[in-house]
Amino acid sequence: MNVMTEISVERISKSRLTSVDFNNLGFGTYLSDHMLVADYREGKWNQPAIVPFGELPMTPAILALHYGQSIFEGMKAFKNKQGEIVIFRIQRHHQRLNRSLERMCMPAISEEMFTESLAAIVATDAKWVPTSEGSALYLRPVVFATESRLGVKISDEYKFVVLTSPVGPYFSKPVRVKVESHYVRAAEGGTGFAKCAGNYGGAFYPTQLAKQEGFDQIIWTDACDHQYIDESGAMNIMFVLNGKLVTPQLTSAILDGVTRDSILTLADDLGMPKEARKISVAELKAGFEKGTLTEAFGVGTAAVVSTIATINIGGKDYSLPPDSSSSFQQRVKKRLHDIRMGHEPDKYNWNFHVPVK
């Protein structure tokens, strides 16, 4: 079945595009004119449709609200120097979506349905793709349980929705982070590797406490004894330590970030030695004291590369050297940007070109 040719489009009567301040986008402030929706009933996904963005009819008894069957993805579309619209690493995002769905006992979405649904909604709202430096059209596919009943059970009905939003840079300046030594984001064997809604809701409180102390984010540590680094806020984390790019190895408690994977791949192109392994808090502290820890940064779809200026360990602030155009994080960020924008060959076939009529 060719999904995209059968996706119906109900266009909005009056576009909201003129209300958008493209010079001050923020992140998630504006939502585009349309959304894509599809329902899962009687054991199968029904045909997606594109409709004007707006409210969805549902009852307060839908199972997602009570038992947490809700997962999402975060992706970006860009307009390259040739004027084409590309979606970055759509296949990798699809694979991760299905891993999240499987972990939450939710029905898989085929690669064809996922790819063509995203292409269709981006093509419909192509005028919403921003072109300023550091901006993109953020894509938010979300799947949640919609069966209306009480009682702890796996839902038999679901809704797949794709929203889009023109966004600017997530963090506009280097951030201050705190190593978390009490609260836990995820434990091995849990859902930390999945992009399920509960992971984020559970992280709000300790993050809020850290912000009250003057930090932008926290660095999560392992759930067992808080000795090893997991992630930073809503991002994977990377360090340049002893001249090597080092990042925590993946476990069931750590999200398999698409940007993380992209940067590890590009490290080879940039001649940067790399290691994915356990990183202890003690090792970070020693790296500061010896001067061998020269860079720290968060990586993710929203933030791309977010420079970390200060890490607080055990109540003490440790500062990192200012990054520059020669630092690894800036060089790899530029390489990512140039591939997305068509300034460099896309030798890894990461860009999916959206057909726009």
Assign residue 208 the CATH number of its domain: 3.20.10.10
- Same-domain check for residues 121 and 253: no
Overall average pLDDT of the 182-195 stretch: 95
Q: How many CB atoms lie within 10 A of CB 53?
A: 17
Q: Are 351 and 88 in contact (CB under 8 A)?
A: yes
φ/ψ bin of 86: left (φ > 0), alpha (ψ from -120 to 50), beta (otherwise): beta
> Which one has a higher pLDDT value, 233 or 334?
334
3-state secondary structure of 339: helix
Does residue 356 lie in a domain region?
no
Distance CA(17)–CA(14), nearest Å, equals 9
- Same-domain check for residues 205 and 246: yes
Give residue 171's pLDDT: 67
Reply yes or no on whether the pLDDT at 4 is more than 50.
Answer: no
> Which of 169, 202, 226 is a domain's end point?
169
Does residue 339 lie in a domain region?
no
> Which one has a higher pLDDT value, 3 or 167?
167
DSSP single-letter state for residue 89: T
Predicted confidence band at 1 (pLDDT cuts at 50, 70, 90)?
very low
Distance CA(270)–CA(344), nearest Å, equals 14
- Same-domain check for residues 291 and 254: yes
> Which of 140, 169, 198 is a domain's end point?
169
Does residue 12 lie in a domain region?
yes
Does residue 195 lie in a domain region?
yes
User: Mind listing the pLDDT tens digit for each residue in 291-315?
Assistant: 999 999 999 988 789 999 999 999 9
Share above pLDDT 90 across residues of the chain, in percent, rounded to a whole number: 91
Closest by CA to 222, choosing from 244, 249, 200, is: 249
- Same-domain check for residues 266 and 124: no
Distance CA(215)–CA(304), nearest Å, equals 19
Overall average pLDDT of the 220-247 stretch: 95
Does residue 203 lie in a domain region?
yes
pTM, two decimals, is 0.94
Average pLDDT of the chain to the nearest whole number: 95
Overall average pLDDT of the 45-70 stretch: 97
- Record the tokens describing residue 145, joined without a space: 């349980």
Q: Are 299 and 235 in contact (CB under 8 A)?
A: yes
- Same-domain check for residues 149 and 9: yes
Assign residue 10 the CATH number of its domain: 3.30.470.10
- Same-domain check for residues 117 and 221: no
148 is in which domain, residue-wise? Answer: 4-169
How many domains does the chain fold into?
2
Q: Are 27 and 134 in contact (CB under 8 A)?
A: no
Give residue 134's pLDDT: 85
Distance CA(122)–CA(163), nearest Å, equals 10
Closest by CA to 233, choosing from 219, 243, 223, 246, is: 219
Reply yes or no on whether the pLDDT at 5 is more than 60.
Answer: no
Predicted confidence band at 170 (pLDDT cuts at 50, 70, 90)?
confident
Does residue 346 lie in a domain region?
no
Reply yes or no on whether the pLDDT at 344 is more than 60.
Answer: yes
- Same-domain check for residues 34 and 90: yes
State the DSSP string of 186-224. --TTSSTTS-BHHHHHHHHHHHHHHHHTT-SEEEEE-TT
Reply yes or no on whether the pLDDT at 2 is more than 60.
Answer: no
Does residue 213 lie in a domain region?
yes
